[in-house]
Structure 1
Amino acid sequence: MAIDEEQAAALVRAAAGGPPPVLDADTLIARARPARRPWRSALVAAALVAAVAGGLVWSRSSGDAGAPAAGPAGQAASTPHVAGGSASDDPEQAAIRQVDAVLATLPVLPGAVELDHAPAGLTEPFMTTGGPDRIDHARWWTAPGTLDDAAAWFTDHPPTGYASDGSGGGGGPGGPTVETVDFAADGRPDIEFAIVPHGSGVAVRADVELDWVPLRPAWSLVGTDVTSIDVTIVRKAYDHGRGGAPTVTRTLTGAAARRLAQGLDRLASAAPEGAHSCPAQLVQEDDRVVVHRPSGDLTFDRSGGGCAFTATVRAPGHPAASLVGNDFTATVLSELGLPADYGQA
């Protein structure tokens, strides 16, 4: 039995204890992607290699706004990036509209001339962040003045509603070669200005960036026709004596299966993971849940513990969908009566 729109709405109502959002037939709740600035672009990596070879110096200082507070497993706190978007709206298009609205109202240096293409040295974003579902739109200008003057002007003229999120600079024996100024605001796109020398003045690239999260597909909901749920929890220490715990295997039926099913249906959608750093992995952590239903099985997996920001859910005939990983593990361990740090070093 496939879950249709009306059934999906009923499941959300039962799981969340309140009225559901407006849904279309194929998708559920849009949620924000966690983790801001988890990785740098190949451009920056190449620049750092060049810095080692050529004596280039790069520095970055934090601004007043700072990054969002760290969440579980090193993720930034979740905030709804697509503010005001309804669940029936395409989250990617909603993100694009929000990015373009901010891009159109950016502060512009006095005397600047806008370009229709990226000038030399600014063909790519200086700092690439997020994963595969990140929108990045840019504008470019040339302007009179120096790097320091331009950076100071942007610092003194933040975009409306934004606060400083840090600045950076790079240079070598000949002096500075790039300055960056970043701005952030809760629930809004990130902004970065990169400034390089250009003729007798400067060239500026402004990037406005925003992550978007796919809507959770209705097929990924367990529903009410669950017959049993098989759970396997693996916590195997890589180094004897440093964490680890016995493997737990359990089959849930009846009320316990229904409670876990409701917990799984409350899990938020997550964007596919991009490259990111990981804490030291001292324990092999694998969580697997197989839900058995007359309408077809669903399989939930999370491998990697703190290095896995997402869990996946799969069903025959559908592409895998991503869910918030820490919430998945916490939901399963709680139902089994296991501590949240079960088997961790």
Structure 2
Amino acid sequence: MRASRLVSVLLLLQTRGRMTARQLADELEVSVRTIYRDVESLHEAGIPLYGDAGPAGGYQLLDGYRTRLTGLSADEAEAMFLAALPGPAAELGLGSVMAAAQLKVKASMPAELADRSGRIQQRFLLDAPGWYDDGDTSPYLPAVADAVWNQRRIRVLYRRWTAPTEVERTLAPYGIVLKTGKWYAVAESAGRVNTYRVNQILELTPLDGDAGRFDRPGDFDLPDYWSRQIAEFRTRLVQGEALIRLSPTGRRRLEEIMASDVVNAVNSTAEDDCEREGWVKATVPIESLTHAEGEFLKLGAGVEVLAPTALRERIAETAAGLARIYTGTQAVSASG
């Protein structure tokens, strides 16, 4: 365990440059005192590592020193090939690069490790899009990825939900996120950082010269930003609650197609319905009445909305309209 941590200290300093004892301790989830002991051990082993005191201090490897301790363990090799997503890599224009990198890594591995990594690819597949959605396709995804990597601004014609639906924006893209098969660009525009669906970009022009160059803020953390966006999005979604009655079939269907917060709410609030054998009553969160109507209609006769009244009336009106359509169709068919 300690030998692995010493290698991790070396690799962190090699890839990130100067780091304080506190930063190393936080990264490796150990105490600062442990880092002091590890640094002393590295000194004794002849590693050219030095440290400076003070607020701007920290540990750093001598310029030009690079460790060769980069061998992969079996678990690390398997995790690397399990994490590789060939579909998204190809969409980013990196399919051939990933294939070449994996080939080189395999070629440098011992035979046993290469064989285990090959088995991972044959036995585990990560498929990002959902069952009812093939994900996004966008001809501009590689261009957005290039702008992210090279810190170049782009001018886009973007389609949004609110009027005017097509707007021009100059974006400084900080990162790209793939979620459930959909690509999002996190970018600054006019002093604000926002999230943009990549497949809603209708036109894209890279900006050249000094006008196109931007400096990505050093304190911007993409995973942290995305986590906060998800939390805020889920908070905004919930606008009320609905009391529903579910049949056994409706409950099974709900677990297949509804969001996890709805499924969790049913599981935590479900009570046997004394009026209908086998049915349950539950209270679930809902968004707008329009969204809730569409979601509950997916369950057909397996659900009955008891409250709020406005939602129940909307679904009743839609159901009556469907009955008129299908009753009329049957009548025409019979008369024909």
TM-score w.r.t. structure 2 length? 0.22
Which of the pair is proportionally richer in helix?
2
Q: Structure with the greater relative contact order (CA < 8 A, sep ≥ 6): 1 or 2?
A: 1
Which of the pair is proportionally richer in strand?
1
Bigger CA radius of gyration: 2
